[in-house]
Homo-oligomer: A and B are copies of this chain.
Amino acid sequence: MIYITRREQFNAAHRLYRDDFSDEQNRKVFGKCSNPNWHGHNYTLFVTVRGHVNPETGFLVNLKDLSRIIQEQVVEYIDHKNLNVEVPFMKGRLASTENLAKAIWEQLETPVKTLGAELHCVKIYETENNIVDYFGE
């Protein structure tokens, strides 16, 4: 069993807030992250998959394939986008990094299987100080 991780990046706008909260409540709960005019981040994404090394190639998966899947399933939907208003897989979810990690897991879990590997971890750096890991359960 070996673990392989691919790093990808995307830049997005977002805002933390609830429709059913007043502006004041949103500010109280989410602080400056609730700014109605949005703010944004350079998100860094680490996707880890696991499985057995293919003796034919010495690879668990070809990282080009893993990168392509992450691009197609995740980055193209969220890079230079607004997480709250135009990302299909974030619809109906608060745009927190926790929820983003879960949504990215759902986007990747099945496609990764086509590579003969199993999704192990979705890690997101929202900033260099704030990091979320999700292991699918």
Contact = CB atoms under 8 A, between A and B. Distances in A.
Interface string A11-26: 1111010100000000
Contact of A11 (B39, B46, B57, B98): B39
A50 to B, nearest CB: 9
Copies in the complex: 6
Contacts of A13: 13, 37-40
A44 B113 CA distance: 28
Interface in A85-120: 85-86, 93-96, 98-99, 101-102
A22 to B, nearest CB: 15
A59 B100 CA distance: 11
B99 A53 contact: yes
